[in-house]
Structure 1
Amino acid sequence: MPAIIYTDNWHLFTGSRHMPSPGNREPGIARRTVSATKRPFDIDEAMSRIREAVRPFPPAALFQLAEEGFDSPFEVLVACMISIRTFDEVTVPTARRFFSRARTARDVAHLTPAEINQLILTTTFHEPKARQIHAIARRLAADYDGELPCDERLLRSLPGVGPKCANLVLGIACGIPRIAVDVHVHRVTNRWGYVRTRTPEQTMTALEEKLPKRYWVEINRLLVPFGKHVCAGRAPRCSVCVVLDMCQQVGVTTHR
């Protein structure tokens, strides 16, 4: 049986603003029938469609903060550490509050771990994060003139910094193409069937081998809001998905 796609972004499928006749669609919702056989996954087409589809939603937290001017390597790193196991809706105001008090490594080094903890109290694991942020700031102030170099090896040597945060710093603040894989990027790309991996680390390696480099930074910016609002972990909204005709829906047992 053919699949039915309901979407407010009809032009993303057809390349046209022309809508089906009113008799063939529900009010305010475009409907398109596609073959039950999926077309080959076209990453260029997928990224173009998703770029338009997520415009109504806030970008991923670190990209949003960078657009607000918190875009130095140290600020992106601190914001990323704040974001770990924390919703974007909490990360963004918490990071703003923190940066209203201290924005540079030297400024943060003058705070105590207890003061940092109070500033990020709304986040998950705030106490260990506070200690790690303080230790990083002190090291940068002592050894690097208060600046965080765009150096992957150094980033990965800092306490609490894993590949995701290191790559986000390099990609957002340093302009160095790196793929940052979080739960959304991991889930969505596997659900598409674009990669077949078990862990975010495996997904990062697979994407580095397959994803065109021009999308290495952008994929996190796009798939975080896409994964939150459309391709959700439970009951994804396949009925409004702009890449349903290409997505293999791997592991999807129920959807909206």
Structure 2
Amino acid sequence: MHTYDIAISFAGEDREIAEKLANSIVLKGFNVFYDDYEKANLWGKNLYDHLIKIYRDEAKYCLILISNNYAKKLWTNHERRAAQTRAIKENCEYILPLKLDDTDIDGILDTVGYIEYNHTKFEEIINLIEEKIQKFNEDHGIDYSIIELATVLKDAFPEFTAADATTKCPTCETYQSLTETKLQLDNGDTLYICKNGCQPIIVISRPEIVAWPGRGYRIGNFVIRNASDILIQTNEMKNPFKILARKAALMKAKPNDK
């Protein structure tokens, strides 16, 4: 299973564009490798080996922001070579070139289809990326299904059912059992929607998604993101168990560091 739907390779000088793209792709419900999302995860790692693995093995696509700055950088060429290894090995459309200027990059032929950033509407670029990822999922039989909280907590609370959990909607402030909420799938994330339709109140993120600090709790291969405290009380429990709310639980994109 790929950890990321798409990995973005870019020069530091083009970070503003890269971040805008990353945030917009995340809003579509996809998992993006963008270095600023993973500062804690990257801290202390051998970046040479780790980035090879990400750009060669762990994404469905690699989005390369081609520019004069990109051509000059050692690390970007390192990332590009890793991506090219994957593209050649699998003989697939793995690299998605997005040209920020007229620079040519070694190893990326003029015959490879590309998009020109300055001549394409931003929304169209995001929609094209969404189409590519969805087509990849269809071609590879990837069908994300609803994952309920009971599935995530089955090891810790084997007897737990949706009727054993209550939470509050931050909008209407109504307390409700999970049996009263509406379940919805959003690009691999399971949403528990307030019974009054106000907003998602719990999100179960799909396997391998990265949870930045303050956003959610990793339990096994899943991440629970709850806007209000979840109170769990089964018949076998003497005292209730509380999953505390996280401030950034429902944010789609990571807030800028202060």
Fold-level similarity (TM above 0.5): no
Q: Which has the higher helix share?
A: 1
